[in-house]
Structure 1
Amino acid sequence: MPEGHTLHRLALDLGDAFAGRQVRVTSPQGRFAESAAQIDGTVVTAAQAWGKHLFLDLSDGHHVHVHLGLYGTWAVHRHVPAVPEPVGQVRMRLVTGDGAGTFALADLRGATACDLITTEQRDSVVERLGPDPLRTQALPPSDPDAAWARIRRSRTSIAALLMDQSVLAGVGNVYRAEILFRHRVDPFRPGSSMRIGRWQQMWDDLVVLMHEGVRTNRIDTVRPEHTPEAMGRDPRRDDHGGEVYVYRRDGQPCLVCGARVRTRELAHRNLFWCPRCQPRFRSRAEAARRLR
């Protein structure tokens, strides 16, 4: 499933292509046909993302709400000389002239959600989400204290909490595994055992890493001393791209300590961690019992 940086990158691309322009809206597949006809000819006023949700704001007061889910894709093309026939199951197509005698085109396929909604319905979706590290400069800005309030009261593992979009919006499996590794946190540690200082460090790190993900359109989490060039190793080969410490590296040596990276299913997703760099958390009571 695309992580938050991908949705924010898409919002930027869609805004660049369509914001301020009148759009033709169709549904070649037919599943969005009624809504497409209703908003055909409106002007896109903005495109924005909250976590893994993307919204197109329209001049008639409606919003197109898109959640890509596991299989959704949105292909955005600029400066197309002629509008081609749709290929595959295109749920929604946007087309506009780009002012240069060519066209901008966006095709949405396979999304879990593609709905025409009101402002009240959009606000309801957003209210259910936790703070988004990529919206720190938005109005209102995302507040990490809102996530901390949920984390510090929960006995659920920090790894599961980081993937709960009502706690923290936009973080997926890759950023979850990598942020825990970078801060040497046991993934199975209860949220209530965390300290606010550690959480603030993790949040600040996510803000930097995810903004860089938007800029480069890939996830890179290794520090300069652990890049392929610095270590003399081959670059990572994976369809997700980017250089990472533990994600999808199960059985391989940790780039920091050499221990074998481990994996285990948690909440229906594969979790990756280094058992040496992220040692098991023991409460004070548990540690005292072990010393007896």
Structure 2
Amino acid sequence: MPEGHTVHRLAAAHGRMFGGVAVGASSPQGRFADGARRLDGRVLTTAEAHGKHLLLGFDDDQMLHVHLGIYGTSTLAAGPPPAPTGAVRLRLTAPAGYADLRGPSACELLGPGEVKALRDRLGPDPLRADADPELARRRVGRSRTTIAALLMDQAVVAGPGNIYRAEVLFRAGIDPMLPGRDLTDEQWAILWADLAALMADGVRTGRIDTVRPAHTPEAMGRPPRVDDHGGEVYVYRRAGLPCLVCATEVRSTTLAGRNLFWCPTCQPTR
């Protein structure tokens, strides 16, 4: 599933291509035919993300809500659109180009009240200027759940996924099994600031890089990481390999159905 920085990049790309113009909309697959008819000819006025949710606003009171989920993809390209291939749920077109949406877990039109209800269900997004980190802090501080699980809970913090949660906990030296209520204010401030900075880098570059300058392949004389997620990381998908900082073997376990990675030396149990 794409992490939040990817959806913010998608929002920006939609804004550049479709912002301020009347958009053509169709559903080649047919599953969003009614919604596409309602969008066709409308002007895109806003394009934003909240966590992993893409929100496109138009010149009426409706907003297109897209959640890619595990299998969804959104492809944008310049120029005239080709004949649709595959199950295209929604195609948007404009003079500058087109966007094809395939396989999302959500593709729906929402009214203002429904948009507010969606936002209310989500935690603050470190990439949004209106984010309130104290709201997330209060939710974390009331919970016996591990901080590793809480950072994946979109009702606590919207946007981070498995890679960011593993990496910010490593960079902060925090045991992933620490209960949220035992996290200190200082530790929370470090986590939030690091999430905001790393995810903003992800928006700019389109990849997740979390290693500090001293631990890059060039600085350490090691081969670059080869992985379909790209980017240089400390612990994510490095189980059984030596920690880049202390050489301890990186460990992995399953937590809430997802693989968790950490270094037991750099992230000691309290």
| TM bin (shorter chain) | over 0.9
Write the mapping of 1:98-113 to structure 2, written as runs, cut at 5 A: 98=96, 104-113=97-106
Q: Name the amino acid aligned to 1:164.
A: D
Write the mapping of 1:280-291 to structure 2, written as runs, cut at 5 A: 280-281=269-270
Superposition RMSD in Å: 0.7
Q: CA shift at 1:83, angstroms?
A: 2.2
Q: Partners in 1 of 2:73 and 2:182 — Cα distance?
A: 38
- Equivalent in the alignment of 1:2: 2
- Equivalent in the alignment of 1:175: 164
> Where do 4+ consecutive residues of structure 1 move more than 6 Å?
none
Long gaps (5+) in structure 2: none
- Equivalent in the alignment of 2:192: 203
Give TM-score, length-normalised by structure 2.
Answer: 0.99
- Equivalent in the alignment of 2:257: 268
Write the mapping of 1:1-292 to structure 2, written as runs, cut at 5 A: 1-78=1-78, 80=79, 82-98=80-96, 104-135=97-128, 137=129, 141-281=130-270
Q: Partners in 1 of 2:155 and 2:64 — Cα distance?
A: 21
Q: Partners in 2 of 1:10 and 1:39 — Cα distance?
A: 19
Q: Partners in 2 of 1:11 and 1:280 — Cα distance?
A: 39
Q: CA shift at 1:148, angstroms?
A: 0.5
Q: Name the amino acid aligned to 1:71.
A: Y
Q: Partners in 2 of 1:201 and 1:31 — Cα distance?
A: 44
Q: Partners in 2 of 1:269 and 1:40 — Cα distance?
A: 39
Q: Name the amino acid aligned to 1:241.
A: G
Q: Partners in 1 of 2:190 and 2:147 — Cα distance?
A: 14
What secondary structure, in the 3-state scheme, does the structure 1 residue paired with 2:210 have?
coil
Q: Partners in 2 of 1:83 and 1:247 — Cα distance?
A: 38
Question: Matched residue pairs, number?
Answer: 270
Give TM-score, length-normalised by structure 1.
Answer: 0.91
Q: Which has the larger radius of gyration?
A: 1
Identity among equivalent positions (%) equals 58
